[in-house]
Homo-oligomer: A and B are copies of this chain.
Amino acid sequence: MPTPPFTEYTARLTRELIHTLVAETDEARLAEHVAFIADKLAEAAARPQQVTVADPHRSAGHIPDDITPASSARNPIAPPMLIEWDGDESRCELTLPLQYQGPPGRVHGGIVATMLDHVLGNAANAGGRPRSYTRYLNVSYDAATPVGEPLVVVGRTARHDGRKRFMEGEILCHGEVRVRAEGLWIEPREGLGHRS
């Protein structure tokens, strides 16, 4: 089910609110922007069924009604990620704003790991394969991943062995590998559901 327009619009306004909270240090200007967004939220909430969004987010496909903090259009924590599967590789292009910053100018290491976990997991489960879950994830931060610059996140299967899928991938910026990841995804035994 695609995200309803009112939900997606509200999530977009919430992302704008998050950005102004971390970017604006002048209290008067912050208050002015918060008032502006509050007004738009109230206006949309008064007529939710009449809200439309330009260029609605297309779901990654394998997660129906996605609410994850990595990729969801309705969860303002997520960038959101649009992941494309070409038969060999999952791939996502995105640029992260200031709310994802750790050290100055650089994406927080945990957010870097989140994007890789999500794209490698997407590749592990692509092509209609049964859902699998991360068993381990190793991330190597070879160089900085900048905020505000276009990133490419890719993931693919390195090899598989029964229920085990060994995945690998990287984050590139301006054509250079900045971060590498490798991990193991495991498909739960039939009837067991996922590990708990």
Bound-state CA distance A39–B38 (Å) is: 7
Complex: A193 Cα to B161 Cα, angstroms: 44
Q: Select which of B10, B67, B114, B136 is within 8 A of A140 by beta carbon.
A: B136
Contact B109 A134 (CB under 8 A): yes
Majority SS at the chain A contact face:
helix
Minimal beta-carbon separation of A13 from chain B (angstroms): 9
**The one of B6, B30, B68 that contacts A31, using a Cβ cutoff of 8 Å:** B6
* A41 interfacial by beta-carbon distance below 8 Å: yes
Count the copies: 2
Are the CB atoms of A111 and B69 closer together than 8 Å? Answer: yes
Cβ contact within 8 Å between A76 and B18: yes
Q: How many of chain A's residues have a CB under 8 angstroms from any CB in B?
A: 69
Using a CB-CB cutoff of 8 Å, which residues 128-146 of chain A contact chain B? 133-141, 143-144
Complex alpha-carbon distance, A113 and B69, angstroms: 13
* Residue picked from A17, A72, A144, most chain B C-beta under 10 Å: A17
Q: Contacts A4-B27, A7-B27; is A99 near B69 (CB within 8 Å)?
A: yes
Q: Give Cα A97–Cα B42 distance, bound, in whole angstroms.
A: 25
Residue A59 lies at the interface, judged by CB distance under 8 Å to chain B: no
CA distance A77 to B22 in the complex (A): 10
Q: Do residues A138 and B138 form an inter-chain contact, with CB atoms below 8 A?
A: yes
Bitwise, A100-138 to B at CB < 8 A (1) or not (0) is 111101101111011111100100000000000111111
A148 within 8 A of B: no
Contact B67 A22 (CB under 8 A): yes
Chain B residues contacting A167 (CB-CB under 8 Å) are none
21 example contacts (A-B, Cβ-Cβ < 8 A) are as follows A6-B27, A10-B30, A10-B34, A21-B76, A22-B72, A34-B41, A34-B44, A35-B41, A35-B45, A38-B41, A67-B98, A69-B100, A69-B101, A69-B111, A108-B118, A109-B137, A113-B117, A133-B141, A135-B140, A136-B138, A137-B139
